[in-house]
Structure 1
Amino acid sequence: MIYDFNKVINRDRTNSVKWEFVGHHVAGARDDTLPLWVADMDFPCAQPIIDALHARVDRLIFGYSDPYTEEYLSAVTGWFERRFNWIIDPEHLVVAPGVVPAIGVLLRILTQPGDGVIIQRPVYYPFTNMITGNGRRVINNPLSLSDGRYAMDFADLEAKASDPANTMMILCSPHNPVGRVWTPEELIRAAEICQKHEVVLISDEIHCDLVRRGVTQIPTRLLSDSDQIITCTSASKTFNLAGLHICNCIVSSEKIRQEWQAEQRGRMGLSGGNAMGIAATQAAYNQGEEWLEQVLDYLDANLQFMAEFIAERLPQAAFTIPQGTYLPWIDLRGYGLTGPELEERILGQANIALDQGYIFGPEGEGFERINAACPRSILTDCLERMAKVLEG
Structure 2
Amino acid sequence: MVEYDFDAAVDRRGTASVQWDGVADRFGVDGLLPFTISDMDFPSPPQVLDALRERLAHGVFGYTDWRLGDFRAAICEWYATRYGTELDPERIVYGPSVLNQLSQLLRMWTEPGDGVVVHTPTYDGFRKAVDGLGRELRGVPVGDVAGLERELARGDSRVLLLCSPHNPTGRVWTDAELREMARLAETYDVAVISDEIHADFVHEGYRHLPWTRFAGERGRWAVITSGSKSFNFPALTGSYGIVGDPQERAAFVRRMETGEGLASPAALSLTAHIAAYRRAGEWLDALRSYIAGNLTMIADRLNGAFPELGWTPPQAGYLAWIDLRALGVPDEALQRELIEREKVAIMPGGVYGAPGFVRLNAGCPRAKAEAGTDALVRALSRLV
What TM-score does the superposition give when structure 1 sets the normalisation length?
0.94
Quote the Cα distance in structure 2 between the aligned partners of 1:213 and 1:272: 38
Q: Do the aligned residues in 1 keep the contact of 2:334 with 2:379 (CA within 8 Å)? A: no
Equivalent of residue 383 in structure 1, options 358, 363, 373: 373
Shift of 1:373: 0.9
Shift of 1:386: 1.3
Quote the Cα distance in structure 2 between the aligned partners of 1:91 and 1:194: 24
Partner of 1:56: 55
Partner of 2:189: 198
Q: Which amino acid aligns with 1:223?
A: F
Shift of 1:343: 1.6
Partner of 1:85: 84
Quote the Cα distance in structure 2 between the aligned partners of 1:239 and 1:323: 19
Q: For the structure 1 residues 358 and 318, does the alpha-carbon distance in structure 2 shift closer, same or farther, using more than 3 Å as the test?
A: farther
Quote the Cα distance in structure 1 between the aligned partners of 2:192 and 2:162: 7
More displaced stretch, 160-169 vs 100-109: 160-169
More displaced stretch, 307-316 vs 165-174: 307-316
Q: Do the aligned residues in 1 keep the contact of 2:92 with 2:241 (CA within 8 Å)? A: yes
Q: What aligned pairs does 1:197-346 form with structure 2 within 5 A after superposition?
A: 197-225=188-216, 227=218, 228-271=220-263, 273-346=265-338
Partner of 1:15: 16
Deviations 1:277-298 (A, max 9, x none): 0111110001011101100110
Runs of 4+ in 1 over 6 A off after TM superposition: none
Partner of 2:134: 135
Q: Does 1:27 align with 2:27?
A: yes
Shift of 1:70: 4.0
Quote the Cα distance in structure 1 between the aligned partners of 2:360 and 2:84: 31
Which sections of structure 1, spanning at least 5 residues, go unmatched?
144-151
Q: Do the aligned residues in 1 keep the contact of 2:63 with 2:264 (CA within 8 Å)? A: no
Partner of 1:160: 151
Q: Do the aligned residues in 2 keep the contact of 1:318 with 1:331 (CA within 8 Å)? A: no
Q: Which amino acid aligns with 1:348?
A: E
Q: Does 1:352 align with 2:344?
A: yes
Q: Do the aligned residues in 2 keep the contact of 1:188 with 1:220 (CA within 8 Å)? A: no
What TM-score does the superposition give when structure 2 sets the normalisation length?
0.96
Q: Do the aligned residues in 2 keep the contact of 1:318 with 1:332 (CA within 8 Å)? A: no
Quote the Cα distance in structure 1 between the aligned partners of 2:118 and 2:360: 22
Q: Do the aligned residues in 2 keep the contact of 1:316 with 1:332 (CA within 8 Å)? A: no
Q: Which amino acid aligns with 1:17?
A: V
Q: Which amino acid aligns with 1:331?
A: D
Q: Secondary structure at the match of 1:215?
A: coil
Which sections of structure 2, spanning at least 5 residues, go unmatched?
none
Q: Do the aligned residues in 2 keep the contact of 1:232 with 1:250 (CA within 8 Å)? A: yes
Deviations 1:63-120 (A, max 9, x none): 3322112411111111011100111110000110111110000000111111111011
More displaced stretch, 340-349 vs 110-119: 340-349
Partner of 1:149: none
Quote the Cα distance in structure 1 between the aligned partners of 2:89 and 2:304: 50
Q: Do the aligned residues in 2 keep the contact of 1:94 with 1:250 (CA within 8 Å)? A: yes
Q: Secondary structure at the match of 2:297?
A: helix
Deviations 1:322-365 (A, max 9, x none): 0011101011122322222222122232221122101111xx10
Pairs aligned (count): 380
Partner of 2:163: 172
Q: Identity rate of aligned residues, in percent?
A: 34
Shift of 1:47: 0.9
Q: Which amino acid aligns with 2:15?
A: T
Quote the Cα distance in structure 1 between the aligned partners of 2:317 and 2:266: 26
